[in-house]
Amino acid sequence: MPKPLMLLRRGATIGRITEMAVRQVATGNQHFAVRAGLSKNPEKVLFVDGDKVVSYGDFQKWSGRYAGVLNGKYGISKGDRVLCRTSKTLDSVALYMACLQLGAIYIPVNPSYTLSETEHFVMDATPKLMVTCEDSKDSVFRDRIANVLDENLLSKETREAEAMMDIEHVDSSDVACVCYTSGTTGLPKGAMLTHGSLSSNAEALVDAWRFTENDNRLLSSTSFSGDLLRQLRLFVSGSAPLSTPLWEEFKSRTGHAILERYGMTEGSSYNS
C-alpha cells in the first residue's frame, strides 16, 4: 500500500499558485517552486522537441501522472531513493519532477554506464526502485531492488493514470537528489543536493541572469541527467528550452537560423 503524503498543499491546481507563494516556501519542496512557474501560463509552450510541443499545463499533468503511478502502484514516498538509468527524453524530466513531488530522492545514472559501473550505484545508493533504459541488462538487480522498471513500460503505465497534484512536505535540508561524481580519484561518490539548495540556486540564477518568461533556451545537449538540475531556472522563470536537433532540422529545411524565428535569448555548450 502507498504511504500517505504529508501535504504541503492539498489539491493545488493550475493557476492557483502565485509568485508570492513560491517565495514563502522557497526553502521547502523544490517541486512547489517549479510548479509555480508551470502554473503562471499553462498554455505557454515549455518544450519544443522535434514535432512534439509540450505546454506548461501539459507537463504539470504529465509529471503528476508519473507521481501517481510511483506512489499508488509502487509505494514510493518521502525519503525513498529512485535510481534512474534512463534515456535522455522528456519522460525523464517528468520522472524527475515526480520524484521531487513525492519527496523521494532522485538519483540519475548515465545510461552509457556498464553493468559493473551500474552495480556500484545500486550497492551504494540502495534504491527502493530503479527505472532503466536496458531492462535486459539491469534485470539482474531485481534480487536487490524491490522494483526494476523498464522506462518504456513505465511511460505506458503513466499515460492512462490519474495525475497526482498533492505535493509532499519537505524541509529545506531534506535531500532531493544524489548526483554521483565522475570517480576520477576513486569510486564515484554521491553528492547530496537538498531541496533548499536547488531552490536558492535556481532563484539566484533567475535573478543574476535576468531570465523572464519571454526567454527561450537553446539546449546544446539533449541530456536530461545531471544537466537537468542546471535547467531548473527555466521552469522557475517561465522560459522555454529548445533542443539542438530542432535547431539543425529547422535550418536544414528553411535555410534560416531558428534564432530568427523563436528569438533565442540564451545559448551555451559544455565541452570536456
- Tell me the backbone φ, ψ of residue 39, rounded to 5 degrees: -90, -15
Question: What one-character DSSP code corresponds to residue 184?
Answer: T
CA distance 119 to 148: 13
Kindly state the helix (H) or strand (E) to which residue 243 belongs, with its residue range.
strand 240-243
| Encoded amino acid at 159, one letter | R
In a domain, 172, yes or no: yes
The total number of residues written for the chain in this structure: 272
Residue 84 is part of a domain; what is its CATH number? 3.40.50.12780
Q: Give this prediction's pTM.
A: 0.71
- Tell me the backbone φ, ψ of residue 244, rounded to 5 degrees: -60, -40
- Tell me the backbone φ, ψ of residue 7, rounded to 5 degrees: -75, 135
CA distance 66 to 162: 9
In a domain, 2, yes or no: no
Decide if 62 contacts 92 (C-beta within 8 A).
Answer: no
Bridge partners (DSSP) listed for residue 267: 218
CA distance 72 to 261: 43
Under the banding of pLDDT at 50, 70 and 90, the label for residue 262 is very low
Mark 41-67 as b/e (b = at least 16 C-beta within 10 Å).
bbeeebbbbeeeebbbbbbbbbbbbbb
In a domain, 1, yes or no: no
Q: What are 58-82's pLDDT values in tens digits?
A: 999 999 999 999 999 999 999 999 9
Kindly state the helix (H) or strand (E) to which residue 167 belongs, with its residue range.
strand 167-168
Question: What domain range includes position 226?
Answer: 7-268
Number of domains forming the structure of the chain: 1
Q: What are 96-132's pLDDT values in tens digits?
A: 999 999 999 999 999 999 999 999 999 999 999 999 9
**What is the share, in percent, of the chain residues with pLDDT greater than 90?**
45
In a domain, 210, yes or no: yes
In a domain, 181, yes or no: yes
Under the banding of pLDDT at 50, 70 and 90, the label for residue 244 is low
In a domain, 207, yes or no: yes
